[in-house]
Structures are given as C-alpha cells and as structure tokens.
Structure 1
Amino acid sequence: MSRPPAKATAKTAAKRPRRIPGFPPDPDRVEAIFERLARVMPEPKTELTFQDPFTLVVAVALSAQATDVSVNKATDKLFKVADTPEKMLALGEAGLIPFISSIGLYRNKAKNVIALSRRVLEVHGGVVPLNRADLQALPGVGRKTASVVLNELGIEPAIAVDTHVFRVSHRLKLVTGNTPDKVEDQLHQVVPPAYLPKAHHWLILHGRYTCVARKPKCAACVISELCPSRVELGG
C-alpha cells in the first residue's frame, strides 16, 4: 500500500527558494528593452569629466547627491591644479574647499578626497587600486562609487544603483527590490550577459533624460510599448 507524500518539514521548506511575485520578468521583454536602448545609445559613458583612474575616483566621490554638471564645473578648475594624489594632498582640505564649495556636502567630501589621496599614496604607491575591496577601503568610496569606477574602466560589469537606475528599473518592472542592493542583485539576474557591461549607463541616461521623475517623456521613449507603467504614468 502506497503512503501519502510526507508533509514538508521546516527544514526541507527552508531549502526551497522563495518565489518573489512579479520576479523574474519575461526574458524576451528584457532582451527587447536593452536591444532598443543599445540601438539609440551604442556607446554610453559617464558624463563626468576625468583623465585617469584617480581623477575618475575623485569626480565620482564628489558627485554623490550632486549633478554631474556641477561636479564638472568644479573639477574643470580643480584638476588643472591637482590631478594626482600628491598634488591633491599638497592642496589640503583648506585649499580644496574653494574649488568644490558649490557642490553639496563639500566639507565632508573635501575631507574624504584628501584622506583617499593619502591612502592611495601611502598604501598603494600613488596608484589607484582597481579592485573592489581596495577601492571600497578608500575614504568616501562606497559600493556605488566603486561600481561606477569599475564599470567605466571596463574592469567589472557592475551596476551602480542610483536614483535613476532605481526608478527606471521599477517602472519597467525589471525588479521588485526595495533597496539599492536588492535592485543591483536582481538586475544582475535578469539583464542578458551581452548587455550587462553597459546596462548601468543605459538605465542612468534613460532615467536622466527620458524616464524622468515627475513627467516621464513616454511619447519620445523607444521602449514605451515595453513598459508596464506607461498607462499609470500617463504616457
């Protein structure tokens, strides 16, 4: 006589992955979204001005809660005076502040830029480390800043989740995560590998110029027909 199937115990139930409602999205739709973004933006890149890894790290660190435009205006003058860790350290906090005083949180950022310059000199021989662990050990460089640097330099297909990426990813129903870390993890799961290296820039630029926060430009959007949020957004 056959026995009825045993009920799942707490132990066996814990082994089963919990399915998240609405995730993952339809892979064909995701593929189509990035194919179209790639078509209109074949070579996306950061809008921050930089010359090398050091100036990139500084520019990205300064860009937290500030616009790229405001950072570029400041670094245009700053990098003419201090574009190496040695020169930045010689400038000091007091000398750096006048260059970046138009940027939000400039006092704390000045402190971090000088501290990271010192660490690059003392620990890394004046060369910016290009691996995640050492980058994130630099003062003022968190996961998002490290991801931007590693992605921009083609070292890692990282996705830095800022407000634009967070907003666009949710509007497109690519993710369900409620924190930047969860969104980052889910994007890595659903973005096709061929598009992953540039996905960060496509999502940022799309959010910055088309899928804007208050009045998204659905009529001019190349992926509007693939967007589940278009109706509720008024597009």
Structure 2
Amino acid sequence: MNRAKRTEIFTRLRAANPHPTTELRYASPFELLIAVILSAQATDKSVNKATETLFAIANTPRAMFALGEAGLSEHIRTIGLFNTKTRNILKTCALLLEHHQGQVPRERAALEALPGVGRKTANVILNTAFGEPTIAVDTHIFRVANRTRLAPGKTPLAVEKQLLRLVPQEFLKDAHHWLILHGRYSCTARRPRCTDCCIADLCEFPDRASPTAPSLVKDSGDQPPHQTL
C-alpha cells in the first residue's frame, strides 16, 4: 500500500460521501459525549432510541445528574451494561459541573479523566464535536485498516498511529467517519461486499474475492481487539 493508493482510496470515499458524520444523534458536545459512552457494546440505533427521550428531559450535566440513578437508568435500561453506564454518566456529569463549568473539555487528558471515557471515546469527541483530526479506532476501522493494508497494526493504538501518519492531510479530519461507515456497510466482518466496494481494486486483502472472510473479535467499547486478521 503506497501513498498514491491511499490518496485514491480516500478520494473515492469522499466522492461517495462528501460530508460524513456519526450516525449517533446529538445536538451538543455533551449530548454526543453521553451517546458515545452509551454506544459501547451497543448499536447506534439502540442508543438513538434511548437518547431521544432522555435528551428531551435532560440534555445538560446538571439536568442529567438531577435524574439520579433510578431516573437515568429508566431511560437507558434497554442498552447493554446500563447499570455501569448509569453510574459512569452521573459521575461524569458531576465532574463536568465541578471542574469544567458544565462544559465538555476539549483536551484529551481531561476527557479521558471522565468515567466511562477511554481513548476511543475521547477521539470521537475531539473529532466529531471539535473538528480535531483524530481517528477513533473501533472494530470497524481496525478491520478495514488491516484488511485493506491501509494501515495494518496489531492493536487499535498501533492502527491509530499508523493512520495518523499515513492518511493524507486533506482527508484526515473525515477519515474516521469514512472508515467506520465503510466497515459498517461495505467491508463487513463476516461477508464483506467486495463486489460492490468502491475501492475493491485498490484493496490488498488477499481473500477479497471469497464469499466469506475472517472476522474480528466482538467490539468491546474502549477495550482493544486481541487479534488481527
């Protein structure tokens, strides 16, 4: 995989989707933070369903903290690990009020100090809420980067560093969204849709013509996968 191939890959992904963004629904950095915390080991669809009613009554740290455990958990109980997420969100709200005037911080260290927020979540916030050129390597991006040989690595952090180094600067801010959407809808884990893939001729995945393909371990939020393709 060389620079010319990488440039062409992102040129095509941009042409197919000029303005990519997250599928989580949010109206503020705080709403995005809560949605991303909830999305660990959960689908965006399930998170959006829960936050639709939650954000209608509590879309600030103060209002959400005032719900308490019983009130908050009632809104998110359909989401996996909701008890742990409830406690983390309430602690996060308290810290935002105590140390950040109720605002979501823009610094990585401050974000990662919040309960329920790891490097991946911090990268999503920095990129999607604040426009920073970061890449949050989830299971989809990890899979795409390794399969295509775009930025191979044995851990999410290794892949992240490779992508930040190798993705041409003009594509870096939106690369996160292009790659996650490509992994979600085209380069899927069990049956990648190679025949309909807009970058198939650039991909270096040796089994791309096969009807099935190796899959990664199950996504585990901010926990790294333990194997590569």
TM (normalized to structure 2)? 0.89
Q: Deviations along 1:140-174, whole A, 9 cap, x unmatched?
A: 11111010011002431100000000000111101
Does structure 1 residue 104 correspond to structure 2 residue 104? no
Aligned match for 1:58, one of 9, 34, 42:
34
**Partner Cα distance (2:49, 2:141) in 1:** 24
Alpha-carbon shift at residue 121 of structure 1 (Å): 0.4
Give the match for residue 215 of structure 1. 191
C-alpha distance in 1 between matches for 2:131 and 2:8 = 26
Matched, 1:117 2:99: no
Equivalent runs, 1:151-230 vs 2, <5 Å = 151-229=127-205
Q: What amino acid does structure 1 have at the position aligned with 2:108?
A: R
- Per-residue deviation at 1:230? 5.8
Picking from 139, 144, 150, the partner of 2:115 is 139
Equivalent of 1:130, from 96, 102, 106? 106
Instruction: Identify the residue that residue 90 of structure 1 maps to in structure 2.
Output: 66
Distance (whole Å) between structure 2 residues aligned to residue 175 and residue 152 of structure 1: 21
Asked which structure has the greater CA Rg, the reply is 1
What's the RMSD between the two structures over aligned residues? 1.1
Residues 11-90 of structure 1 mapped to structure 2, 5 A cutoff: 25-90=1-66
The residue number in structure 2 matching 1:17 is none
Contact 1:160 1:184 in 2 (8 A): yes
CA separation in 2, counterparts of 1:181 and 1:51?
29
AA of the residue aligned to 1:197: K
- 1:174 partner amino acid: L
What is the distance in 2 between the residues matched to 1:101 and 1:153? Answer: 26
Q: Which runs of 5+ in 1 are unaligned?
A: 1-24
How far the C-alpha of 1:128 sits from its partner, in A, is: 1.4
Please give the alpha-carbon distance, in whole angstroms, between the structure 2 residues aligned to 1:113 and 1:154.
20
Maintained 8 Å contact 1:218/1:230: no
CA contact (8 A) 1:162 1:180 kept: yes
Matched-pair contact (CA < 8 Å) for 1:135–1:146: yes
- TM-score, scaled to structure 1: 0.87
Displacement after TM superposition at 1:175 (Å) = 2.2
Partner of 1:9: none
**Number of residue pairs matched?**
211
Q: Identity of aligned pairs, percent? A: 53
Q: Tell me how far 1:134 sits from its aligned partner.
A: 1.0
**Structure 1: how far apart are the matches of 2:206 and 2:128?**
30
What is the CA–CA distance in structure 1 between the aligned matches of 2:107 and 2:208, rounded to whole Å?
Answer: 42
The unaligned stretches of length 5 or more in structure 2 are 212-229
- 1:200-232 per-residue CA deviation (whole Å, 9 max, x = no partner) reads 000000000111111111111100000111644
Q: Report the Cα distance in structure 2 between the residues aligned to 1:232 and 1:145, rounded to whole angstroms.
A: 30
Deviation per residue, 1:103-125 (Å, 9 max, x gap): 11111000000000000001111
For residues 163-204 of structure 1, what are the alpha-carbon distances to aligned partners after superposition, in whole Å with 9 as ceiling and x for unaligned? 000000111101231000001001111100000000000000
